[in-house]
Amino acid sequence: MKGQKIQAVLFDLGETLIMFGRLRVYETFNRAARLSYDYLKGLDQPVGCFRRYWLWNFFGIRLRLLISFLSGNDFDSLTTLRRYGQKKGFNLTEPQWEELNWRWYQPLAEQGRIEPQTENALKTLRQSGLKLGILSNTFVHGSSMDRHLKEAGLLDYFDLRLYSYQYSFRKPDRRIFLEAARRIDAQPEQIVFVGDRMDKDVRGAQNAGMIPVLRHAYTNQKKDIPAEIFRIQSIKELPELIESLNRKD
């Protein structure tokens, strides 16, 4: 990194900027199914009985997740919802499709929390002239992700937001890191990437030539972390770490 100054910081989303913790999967799905079903019912859409709606979506999502796991590609939740709804005869405007997508995501968003001082740290980074962006593996459409970030008070800090469903590859594939570097207009060696996963975030950033920083989370507990990897307990420590990196010869 000799002679280089940090120009940009990219962040993973879940367990990095927003802490979701260990999810109660069935409870979360049940609430999402009910919220989305009631929304469609309120719009007089032909949803049928709730049990059939629940089963159709439960097994449909499991199938899509299996295909994603096998293919290495994330699907677009909004496109998937629209295809499903059109088969069922739903007639929605674009804002209504996006609202339906949000109803499916809402229970997960409600579980997310922003740690104290995160916003102050982001403000400090922006004021120091750094460009900030998000690079996240997710099938959740950007309309819902951006809405969550806006409600959390973080959206305006990130000019770049890349989600893996937009591409045919995802972390740790170096191509998505290099695409983020291109989009944020900085060389990989001038970019710090902050994430919680050794396999997807740290290794992927290293392979792309970025400087990885591991953010402490339950996802990396009891992991074998090499001594040379930079680590932080929370985002509030990041400005000081970047200052120290910039001071290095």
What is the per-residue pLDDT across 174-209, written as a single tens digit (0 to 9) for each?
A: 999 999 999 999 999 999 999 999 999 999 999 999
**Inter-CA distances, 103 with 58, 81, 107, 135, 238, Å:** 15, 12, 8, 23, 33
Looking at the structure of the chain, the number of domains it has is 2
| Listed residues 111, 139, 159: the one ending a domain | 111
Q: Is 134 inside a domain boundary?
A: yes
**Burial readout 231-246 (b: 16 or more C-beta within 10 A, e: otherwise):** ebeebbbbbebbeebe
| Listed residues 87, 111, 135: the one ending a domain | 111
Q: What value does the mean pLDDT take over residues 145-152? A: 96
| Same domain, residue pair 138 and 30 | no
Confidence of residue 1 (pLDDT cuts 50, 70, 90): very low
Q: Is 194 inside a domain boundary?
A: yes
2, pLDDT greater than 80:
no
Residue type, 70: L
| Listed residues 69, 91, 111: the one ending a domain | 111
Q: Considering the entire predicted model, what is its pTM?
A: 0.94
pLDDT digits (tens, 9 = 90+) for 62-85: 999 999 999 999 999 999 999 999
Q: Is 187 inside a domain boundary?
A: yes
| Same domain, residue pair 101 and 172 | no
pLDDT at 248: 78
Confidence of residue 224 (pLDDT cuts 50, 70, 90): confident
Q: Is 3 inside a domain boundary?
A: no
| Same domain, residue pair 104 and 119 | no
The whole domain housing 35 covers: 25-111
